[in-house]
Every structure is written in structure tokens, then in C-alpha cells.
Chains A and B, each alone.
Chain A
Amino acid sequence: MSQERQQRTSTPTEVDEVTAAAPVRNDLSADVDSILDEIDDVLEENAEEFVKSFVQKGGQ
């Protein structure tokens, strides 16, 4: 667990009112590359290890 991730974990959970009311741009397919750049910044490190260690017990 990196220091950086721990800090992010403890960030407050409120969603900014202004962004919540932002107009829908519906531009996912047109603008997907800029979204991917944004996602790259927040994706967990070491994808393979992270996905492998996500193990759940069955539920309902």
C-alpha cells in the first residue's frame, strides 16, 4: 500500500455540488482519449496483482 493511496483513501466523500449539476456532454466515444488520460491517473497500481487479490465470498 503506497503512501499516496492511503492519503487518497482518507479524502472526504462529499461530491461537489457544482460538478454534480454540470450539464451532460454525452461525449464518451468522441472524447474517450482524454478520459483515458484522466483514468490513468487514478487506476490502482499493478493491475494484475490488484485484480487477483480481489476475492469475495459468495452472497445472495
Chain B
Amino acid sequence: MSVHRVMGIETEYGISVPGHPHVNSMLTSSQVVNAYAGITGLDRASKARWVYADESPLRDARGFDLSRADADPSQLTDDDHGLANLILTNGARFYVDHAHPEYSTPEVTNPRDAVLWDRAGMVIMQQAATAASAQPGALPIQLYKNNTDNKGSSYGCHENYLMQRRTPFAEIVRTLTPFFITRQIMSGSGRVGLGQEGRKHGYQLSQRADFFEVEVGLETTLKRPIINTRDEPHADPELHRRLHVIVGDANLSEFATFLKMGTTALVLTLIEDGIVLPDITPEKPVATMHAVSHDVSLSKPFSLQSGRRVTALQLQWEFFEASAKHCQDKFGSAMDEQTREVLDSWETLLNDLERDPFSAADRVDWVAKLSLMEGYRRRDNLDWNSPRLQLVDLQYSDIRPNRGLAQLLEDRGSLRRLTTAIQVEHAVSSPPEDTRAYFRGECMRRFTDSIAAASWDSVILDVTGQDSLKRIPTLDPLKGTRAHVGHLFDEAQSAEDLIQLLRR
């Protein structure tokens, strides 16, 4: 399967009205989402609802259901609170979750597409915030692609990967735990402040690491686990599980997102193909995760259960070597281009981090940010508790193109970009063509007024003159592609036509 597999990214953005820290963020988040509905005409589909009947956030991959009475209210993500909730013409979902605006990319099949539709989400968020701020009497709303306020709160950037159901979950836990603990050296976004509330002064690799408290579990909002067991496949549950990864930072560097998705997909392939890496289990996973994030030198070893001492870099080399060998054995010279690109990029980056971490400033968020920090510390003689450094940390993730520091670095060519503005503009309004997101997005684009509801695995049409709603299931993420249904959209003039054509 290589780096090609069904995947997606969901990101909760930080939201703020500068100067008004006590404004109700559920309300401002709703204003942002609703303003986007207004400027895109999606408010015409005001009937369109997200179908929660298809969701089961309490299903546990280990094989049991958490009862609703035992669940923390924040885990009940399937309750319809009447909060803003949009399905976009690019197949994405844009909604309010836990007092943050959240964008879930459409399902894509490879890391480059994940980068593109994630970047489209940033543009959508900014257009939405600009529109919301322009409402009469509104205060300016600013959005941040980060994961903490440095005062004890964290919000997530989750990755999703479709996996084979038959793969034992214990194997996933065994191999992914050390991988997640150490991949921060490539995918951390950098943070000023140590500890959940950032009280201890210093710099660390990850925005998220300090908020993880247990090894395995169902929760996402409290006692966060390194391996999340939520098991809502949004696909045939006999064949698939959806691996819901909650440990990652939201990346500003497109390269970092690309490598995060690509390397994780490769490690999942190792697991599914039964390749066992020996002797990789950390003695204390949670403490090690924090320690790796706190070690900017990338040189401090930690203990494995076997007693072996390794660094994060060493373990990443072992994952790389195993992946490179497996891909070579499996594909040889027929290896696809993107898989080769991920392997090459991974190898080059590990070499660079080993030789001189600062040489990775054009690809890795925590290094780019640290370079700025060290510049300020030297020039202005600042300590790690300086509010100015905390501001640089925060503003790095400001999504406004003229104020966000990551985008400023991109514009001057100091941070690598994988997408072009034209590609992103297209992805803002158009779905990927090789997943069911194509069907969902095209339905939304062409028949906005007739969409009664939608979810990842269905679209429900409300057709004039018919007394019942028509539910079109889309359980297979790799069907409903342009190749499957493109000709239907060429032919159908209305939602009614589409239903007729589907019946043939």
C-alpha cells in the first residue's frame, strides 16, 4: 500500500478576539462558520445537516462500547447542539467543535493531497474569519493554527488513516507508540514554555506533547492517550478501521505535514504487512514523550523495556531503515514516485537533524521557530520568559497571510512550500477526484438546494415532488470517485435526474 491509503486531517483552530479574552468562543466560532456559508452561498442549503446517526464516538477499537452515562460530556460529539456545521463543495466538513472552528479535509489517498486540502482549509478559515469580522458591529476575529494557549488548554490536529480490520490492535499499539513518541523531532511545531500551563521557562519541540497523560484510551479531551482507540471507521466495519491519531501538532510547514502523513502511512504498512521491529518498546512511554519534546539538542537517550538506551533520532532511523527495506522488497523498481519521495525526504531530514538541526529550518516548524527565537534572544538579549518570544510563538501560527510569521517565512523563500496558490484556490472549492469526497462535493456544488443532510458515509437528497428523503450511502471511501460517477454529473441536470441515473 506504500504511502497511498485513504487519509485525512481534522484541525481545530485557536480563535481569539484580541482585547476581549472573555468573549464566548462557541459563539464566535459559529459566526466564523456561518459567515463562510454566507459568502459561498452554502446557506441556501440551510436545511443541510450533518447526519449524526452514522457516528459512534464511543466505539472502542479494543472491542467494547463505553456507555453514555460513563462518558464525559465532551466525548459526546454526536449530539447535535445546533452549532454551525457545513459540508463544503470540496467535500470537507467545516463546523464548530468544542468552542473552536474545525476543518476536516475531504478523504484523500496520498500525503501530497492531504497537504493541499489541509492548506485549502487554512484559506477557507481565513476567508471565513474575514467575513465574520466584516459583519456590522462585529469585533475582529483572529484564527491560529496551533494547539495550545499556553495556559493549560489544548486543542487538536487529528490525522485519520484507513486500516485493514484484520490487523491486531495490539500490534498497532506496539509499533506506533515508539514511532509517535519520536516523530516529534520532524513534525513538532515548537513551543515556548514547558508543562501544560507553560509555567516553566524554556523551548520544546511539540505544542501537544505535554498534554498526553496515558498510553492507550478512548478520550480525546482529557487524560489524552498516545494511542487513541476511537473506532468509527466511516467505512465497512468488517473490512476497515479508521486509525484516529491525536498526538500530532498542527503544522504550518507543508513539508512537515507531508512527511508526517507519509511516514505514518509507511509505518502502518509495516504493521499491516506483519513486519515486526524488534526492541523498540519504551520503558515509560508518556514520560519519554515529554522528555523527547523537551530535548532541543536531540541527543538525550531514553530507556527501552529491554534496557537498551536510544535517542529519538536512532529510533527514527530504525523506522526509516525498516520502511525503506520493506518498500524495496515489495515494489523494487516499480516503487511509485510519492513513496520514493517520502523515503528520500525522510532520510535527508534525519541526516540533517543529526548533523545540524538548524539546517532543517526550511522544512521543520520547531526549527524554523527556534531560529527566530534564537535570533531575538541574541539581538535583544531576551530570556525564555519574555512576552515577545511568546508572541513570536503565537504569531507564527496566525493564519493571516500578511501577519502570520510562518507565511512570512514562506513568502521570502525561507520555509519550503509544496503547493502553489492556484492549486490551493482550486482545492478550496473542488473535491479530490479519487475518493467518495468527489460525490459529496459535487452534490453539494451542483445541487446545494436539494441536500437535506450528509455525513462521511452518506448523502441525503430532498427532491421536489417526492415525499421521502433519498439516502445515498457512500460506505466505500474509494467509490463515488470521478471515474465512477463523473459521467452521472455530466448528465444530471438536477438532483432528481441524479437519483434516476443512480437507479439504472
Whether A56 pairs with B375 at a CB distance below 8 angstroms is no
A37 closest partner in B (C-beta): B379
Whether B403 pairs with A59 at a CB distance below 8 angstroms is no
Q: Does B434 contact A (CB under 8 A)?
A: no
Contact with B along A19-46 (1 / 0, CB 8 A): 1111111111101110110110011100
Contact with A along B22-35 (1 / 0, CB 8 A): 10010000000000
Partner of B402, one of A11, A27, A33, A58: A11
Q: Does B277 contact A (CB under 8 A)?
A: no
Whether B409 pairs with A35 at a CB distance below 8 angstroms is yes
B133-190 contacts to A (CB < 8 Å): 133-134, 139-140, 142, 144, 148-156, 158
Instruction: Give the bracket for the number of chain B residues in contact with chain A.
Output: 35 or more
Number of A-B contacts (CB under 8 A): 193
Neighbouring A residues of B19 by C-beta, 8 Å? 1, 53
Whether A25 pairs with B412 at a CB distance below 8 angstroms is yes
Partner of A26, one of B74, B140, B362, B388: B362
Q: Does B487 contact A (CB under 8 A)?
A: no
Whether B99 pairs with A9 at a CB distance below 8 angstroms is no
Q: Does B116 contact A (CB under 8 A)?
A: no
Contact with A along B42-83 (1 / 0, CB 8 A): 000000000000000000000000000000001000000000
New A-B pairs, 6, CB < 8 Å, besides A29-B361, A31-B414, A42-B408? A10-B134, A15-B411, A33-B375, A38-B412, A39-B372, A59-B98
Neighbouring A residues of B376 by C-beta, 8 Å? 36
Partner of A17, one of B14, B402, B422: B422
Given A39-B372, A57-B98, A60-B220: A19 and B411 interface contact (C-beta under 8 Å): yes
Whether A8 pairs with B395 at a CB distance below 8 angstroms is no
Whether B126 pairs with A13 at a CB distance below 8 angstroms is yes
Whether A54 pairs with B130 at a CB distance below 8 angstroms is no
A29 to B152, CA, bound (A): 32
Given A9-B130, A26-B361: A54 and B409 interface contact (C-beta under 8 Å): no
Neighbouring B residues of A9 by C-beta, 8 Å? 130, 133, 140, 142, 400
A43 to B139, CA, bound (A): 20
A11 to B130, CA, bound (A): 8
Neighbouring B residues of A6 by C-beta, 8 Å? 140
A28 to B127, CA, bound (A): 30
A59 closest partner in B (C-beta): B155
Contact with A along B363-389 (1 / 0, CB 8 A): 000001001101110010000000110
Given A38-B412, A58-B154: A28 and B12 interface contact (C-beta under 8 Å): no
